[in-house]
Amino acid sequence: MRETVVVSVGERHLPHLARIVDPLVVTDLATVVWSPHGHSDAVNSLVTAPEGAAAVAQTVLLDSVGEPDAREALDRVCALAQRVAVVDLAWLRATPWRERLAAHFDPPDRRAELRTMSKISVRHGAESMVSGLLLVGWLCARLGWRPERLTRHDALLRGRARGRRGEVELRLEPVGRMSVPGLAGVEIRSVSGSMIALERGEGGLSARRVEPKGQERAWTVLGASRGEAGILGEGIRHALLPDPTYAPALAAARCMLA
């Protein structure tokens, strides 16, 4: 079953939107807030629980890439995450990249490289810095690294993360105009000389691997570059199945812009 209810309100109603929406929601079903054009007062009203009652909404669906300031975007998401579940489209766009990187290091003979990484370079769309920060934050959280604050060199962000066996250089670089928001490329190098690189391409991700002894091979990961088609539906599905790796990655990304 599906039912659509349209309520027209003015700006003066936004701080009190919960009182208007509460009688319209089904209490046994999860309620998701999606406000793509701002209106933080309305979102705050719906996720703030009044004394002695529950909040109207349990999940906020948002796109932190759409915010003009990356630091303010991360601060806003962290504040929301303390009250409700958050589904960030900037995080979902990088899902194929995380999946391919995790699969690359899954074979037992490659897992040792996880402890010897020396440099991570991420290229992202000009307005998609948050996507790059979340990918690096995910690596930091999963591998137990402590990221330091990144410093700006023109458009480039540079810094380091401290691991158990040394420091890892971090680089985030914007690229020219992209047809869709998100990542353009990722390159990971280790002290042994190995390298794995992923690049956005037609129909998938272009992958390149360099072995410690110098052998090189390239291939295409078909279907891994999903673009924007269906990203909103993917966000709604994740509202029902939260990703436990998002919050640690968000915290690490916020440290890098502290």
The pLDDT score that the predictor gives to residue 156 is: 93
Q: Is residue 98 part of a domain?
A: yes
β-bridge mates for residue 123, sequence order:
173, 185
Q: Is residue 252 part of a domain?
A: no
The pLDDT score that the predictor gives to residue 89 is: 93
Q: Is residue 233 part of a domain?
A: no
pLDDT in tens, 158-179: 999 998 878 999 999 999 878 7
Q: Is residue 126 part of a domain?
A: yes
Q: Is residue 124 part of a domain?
A: yes
pTM of the model: 0.90
Pairing mode, strands 183-190 and 117-124: antiparallel
Q: Is residue 46 part of a domain?
A: no
Q: Which domain holds residue 213?
A: 92-222
**Number of folded domains in the chain?**
1
The pLDDT score that the predictor gives to residue 250 is: 96
Residues of the chain with pLDDT under 50: none
HSE value, Cβ hemisphere, 13 Å, CA-based, for 188: 21
CATH number at residue 199: 3.30.360
Q: Is residue 109 part of a domain?
A: yes
Q: Is residue 117 part of a domain?
A: yes
Q: 100-136 as b/e, with b when 16 or more CB fall inside 10 Å?
A: bbeebeeeeeeeebeebbebbbbbbbebbbbbbbbbb
